[in-house]
Structure 1
Amino acid sequence: LKLSNPSAPKPNVIIIYCDDLGYGDLGCYGNRVIRTPNIDGLARDGMRFTDYYSCNAVCAPSRVGLLTGRYPFRTGIIGNPYPAENPLLRKIEREIAYQFTPMGSFDQHEDYVAAGISSKEITIAQALKIAGYNTAMVGKWHLGDYSREPQFNPLKHGFDQYLGVPHSNDMQPCPLFRNETQLEADIGTNQARLTGMYTREALAFIEKSKGNPFFLYFAHTFPHQPLYASERFAGKSKAGKFGDAVEEIDWSVGEITKKLRELNIEQNTIIFFASDNGPWYEGSPGVHRGRKGQSYEGGFRVPFIVKWPGHIRPGQVSSELAVNLDIFPTLLTLAGIEHPSDRVIDGKSIEGLLSGRETVSPHDIVYFYHYDQLEGVRFGKWKYLRRLNRYVWPVPLDAEYITSRMGKKALGDRWPLLYDLSLDPGENYNVIATYPDVAGKLEGMLAQWEKTAEKNPRGFLE
């Protein structure tokens, strides 16, 4: 990596990443129960996307895609790494996973998930440091249990400072770390303090870095289960514990934007707000079908808001395709950093969309993976699902329909599925019988993508 444009603007960068926040959980996305005035303010002052996707519908793969701009199967993190109880065993599993998991070589089982992010990957933090950025991470990492395997610590992957936990709050033990020092062996159920603690740390970093370009990756623990909120917010929302947690996150967003105004650096700071995937047990996917872990829209399509005063016109709503993989190349472009030439970067810069210089997405295709299994594709208004995994939820049509009088031949095949998202965003009507030619074209796209990916699944170039 090297600078390609030393005179690039180099804005301060803040990524606020929620955990299991659904498409329909914010006021600016139609929610009328949970109060989110500060997040809605980001949308009012910036650009809100309606067709933004995570690269995966579970936590860790989404995060490695965000930070590297690469599909998770390229990194080996195809599912959620669990706490490392046996480092030697995990090392063996990691090597197995890294060599053999691409494109379905192993079954979908957590034991074969890579234990953490490889040192070969380049993160946003590592890239921005080339342009002179101060970097910090606050919150949930979930790219390797650094409490047992220190090579996965955020400080080894481009961050100057860190306060947070190695994985999800339902995985025990869940230690609290500052940099490479363990502060607590297990946060246990003492989690109501987390959002406030994270926010204070973020504000201190912004204050300290005000004279230098900075990158803050603020990855909230909530609203992932189990749900907690501080005394100030507990029981105050009209949406139970989930709503309490989201309203406290909204407060945190307000504190961040207030600090930027106080320091007179708001105009030179770009804020990205998003969720890692769709909602889990609670939360709303909006009009969309499915939830976390599923390749229906509700698992992958999430809120995405970008604010940069003076550069992004306020109040815009974009229906263009975007993926969380795009944030990596977009930030490299803004910071004047040459994009890596030694590896495939799956994301595409959306700087033109944000600035208004371009009106059409650089994407025309989005792929849907569950672990390393390629399940579907979106092309324009069409969504094609080859089949779905067994990460099921009690939503319509997910169960096999069998009667005593009619056999499978009479009922038709369950797979594949074809939806016209322009008419049916809820994916309620399978129109494959009406448009078999469209389904054939999309299946061909999947086959071609698999063929290309299998030739070089890790995407490193000679």
Structure 2
Amino acid sequence: MTVMSRHLGFCFAVAALWHTSAALAADASPPNVVLIFADDLGYADVGCFGAKDIRTPNIDRLATEGTRFTSFYVSQPVCTASRASLMTGCYANRVGLAGALNHTSKAGIHADEVLLPELLQQRGYATAIFGKWHLGHRPEFSPLRHGFNEFLGIPYSNDNGPLHPVVKTIPSLPWIDGEKTAELDPDQSQFTRRLTERALRFLAANKDRPFFLYLPHIMPHVPIFASEKFKGRSGRGLYGDVVEELDWSVGEIVAALKRLNLEDNTLLIFTSDNGPFLSYGEHAGSATPLREGKLTTFEGGVRTPCLIRWPKIIPAGRTCDEPVASIDLLPTIAKLIDAPVPKHPIDGLDVWPILSGQPDGRTPHEALLFFSGDELQAVRSGDWKLHFAHDYLTVAGPPGKGGKPANYENMKPKSIEESGIRGIASRHGYEVRRIEQSLFNLKDDPGESRDVAKQHPTV
């Protein structure tokens, strides 16, 4: 694997050399930015990515009016790490936030890190986050101390409370407005509606100035809930109902931008933090045709649906298969608004030539790295995906039902206290298996089912 080895070293050095190959037209002003981040939404859970039993006309319209990115990646297949990368433009391991934080965690985003909202705030943008933060719940980690003017939502995942499907000793889930706890154990069926309504108020209040709206929805992370209006509407049970309500939210945001005469100067990005939580069966999404899901570095865990819309700037109705990553959004947006990127090394690169559909737009990455916790498990370079030998989680038997994970009836309280991969397996009904070093050609085999290392020993 000589070429792949060279790519690994290059990845960490190349961030210092990144540059942009294109800029906006001279008469275009820096855009407003709306970033909608679903939670555990699978690659195949929206219509334009293959869903047949979930109706998502508003999300699908983003594909018609913008570009559909079919090789969009997150750096880790789990909540906190994925969000840390999104906000900093760095692999989560670089900023010390691998894995997922919970209500007992003492860690969080460090004060020295420069987050995307801070760059925008420095350029005069109003900034807001409505949804799940998950970068630390202690006061020093508050979103309001890291570039946001407003915050409404929860500090960590919605299962970090009495509604956890397995662990029953977690204290109440806080609903936070600004830096104050406004409620304990709020009605989760109202999350999507409440966050959307607050987002609409933010848009209206800031229509005359540039703004950054970050909407990291709490759904469809388990436990899942839909409001009465959406219950029973989809062809995929409660999970489909939840996704259709998210689609409604997207429609409300787009309609507000149009009503406020803002859509032509608003960059709108829709994606997910990682793949589906497959152990939860009917309460989880689908990554078909990709392999596995959340908690794994197979494609189903790290490749997410992504749609980007900016009328008259980003090509409409286009599909792009060039590899792009969430770490690239910070440097790309920084270039668009003429903001300096952080002085310390970052891993993301400017991908505006790809987003804007330039004929020579190609991924600037020699390779993309995929970690699970502190372990580098996989690398993508071109069409090649190399997995190093590692343990991984899979659903070995029937998936869970009714909001419970697989193998729920056999779970024991002692096993729930375990740490590491086996602790995750015991809490969420997975089986631990092992993959030896393997090479896949994603162009021919997106499901990572055929190891071709022996046929290509020099890759």
Q: Same fold (TM over 0.5)?
A: yes
Which runs of structure 1 show a deviation greater than 3 angstroms over 4 or more consecutive aligned residues? Answer: 4-8
Q: Contact conserved, 1:321 with 1:364, CA < 8 A, in 2?
A: no
Please point out which of 154, 170, 174 is paired with 2:159.
170
Offset, 1:437: 2.3
Q: CA separation in 2, counterparts of 1:414 and 1:277?
A: 21
Residues 285-434 of structure 1 correspond to what in structure 2 (within 5 A)? 285-341=287-343, 343-357=344-358, 358-394=360-396, 415-434=436-455
Aligned residue in 1 for 2:165 = none
Aligned residue in 1 for 2:212 = 215
Q: Contact conserved, 1:295 with 1:388, CA < 8 A, in 2?
A: no
Aligned residue in 2 for 1:243 = 240
Offset, 1:194: 0.5
Report the 3-state secondary structure (helix = DSSP H, G, I; strand = E; otherwise coil) of the residue aligned with 1:389: strand
Residue type of the partner of 2:42?
Answer: G
Identity %: 43
Offset, 1:379: 1.1
Corresponding position: 1:25 with 2:45: yes
Q: CA separation in 2, counterparts of 1:132 and 1:426?
A: 44
Aligned residue in 1 for 2:123 = 131
Q: Contact conserved, 1:377 with 1:385, CA < 8 A, in 2?
A: yes
Corresponding position: 1:268 with 2:265: yes
Q: 1:73 to 1:348 in 2, by over 3 A?
A: same
Offset, 1:359: 2.1
Q: CA separation in 2, counterparts of 1:8 and 1:254?
A: 25
TM-score, with length taken from structure 1: 0.81
Deviations 1:404-440 (A, max 9, x none): xxxxxxxxx95111111111111111122222222xx
Report the 3-state secondary structure (helix = DSSP H, G, I; strand = E; otherwise coil) of the residue aligned with 2:200: helix
Aligned residue in 1 for 2:59 = 39
Q: How many residue pairs get matched?
A: 385
Q: 1:205 to 1:14 in 2, by over 3 A?
A: same
Report the 3-state secondary structure (helix = DSSP H, G, I; strand = E; otherwise coil) of the residue aligned with 2:37: strand
Q: CA separation in 1, counterparts of 2:391 and 2:230?
A: 37
Report the 3-state secondary structure (helix = DSSP H, G, I; strand = E; otherwise coil) of the residue aligned with 2:188: coil
Q: Contact conserved, 1:375 with 1:385, CA < 8 A, in 2?
A: yes
Q: Contact conserved, 1:8 with 1:334, CA < 8 A, in 2?
A: no
Q: Contact conserved, 1:270 with 1:307, CA < 8 A, in 2?
A: yes
Unaligned runs of 5+ in 2: 1-22, 162-171, 399-433
Aligned residue in 2 for 1:225 = 222
Q: Contact conserved, 1:140 with 1:167, CA < 8 A, in 2?
A: yes
Please point out which of 143, 154, 169 is paired with 2:135.
143
Offset, 1:7: 9.1
Residues 444-455 of structure 1 correspond to what in structure 2 (within 5 A)? none
Q: Contact conserved, 2:99 with 2:373, CA < 8 A, in 1?
A: yes
Residue type of the partner of 1:171?
Answer: N
Unaligned runs of 5+ in 1: 85-89, 92-114, 397-412, 439-462
Aligned residue in 1 for 2:82 = 62
Offset, 1:395: 8.6
Q: CA separation in 1, counterparts of 2:260 and 2:65?
A: 18
Corresponding position: 1:252 with 2:252: no
Deviations 1:116-147 (A, max 9, x none): 111111111101011100000000011111xx
Q: Contact conserved, 1:47 with 1:317, CA < 8 A, in 2?
A: yes
Q: 1:425 to 1:62 in 2, by over 3 A?
A: same
Report the 3-state secondary structure (helix = DSSP H, G, I; strand = E; otherwise coil) of the residue aligned with 1:83: coil
Deviations 1:131-181 (A, max 9, x none): 100000000011111xxx211111010000110000111011320011011
Aligned residue in 2 for 1:9 = 29
Q: CA separation in 2, counterparts of 1:252 and 1:263?
A: 17
* Root-mean-square deviation over aligned CA pairs: 1.9
Aligned residue in 2 for 1:78 = 98
Q: CA separation in 2, counterparts of 1:217 and 1:365?
A: 28
Report the 3-state secondary structure (helix = DSSP H, G, I; strand = E; otherwise coil) of the residue aligned with 1:215: strand
Q: CA separation in 2, counterparts of 1:123 and 1:166?
A: 17
TM-score, with length taken from structure 2: 0.81
Report the 3-state secondary structure (helix = DSSP H, G, I; strand = E; otherwise coil) of the residue aligned with 1:437: coil
Residue type of the partner of 1:354?
Answer: L
Residue type of the partner of 1:120?
Answer: D
Report the 3-state secondary structure (helix = DSSP H, G, I; strand = E; otherwise coil) of the residue aligned with 2:97: coil
Q: 1:36 to 1:315 in 2, by over 3 A?
A: same
Q: CA separation in 2, counterparts of 1:225 and 1:309?
A: 34
Residue type of the partner of 2:122?
Answer: I
Q: CA separation in 1, counterparts of 2:231 and 2:390?
A: 37
Q: 1:244 to 1:254 in 2, by over 3 A?
A: same
Residues 158-197 of structure 1 correspond to what in structure 2 (within 5 A)? 158-172=147-161, 173-187=172-186, 190-197=187-194
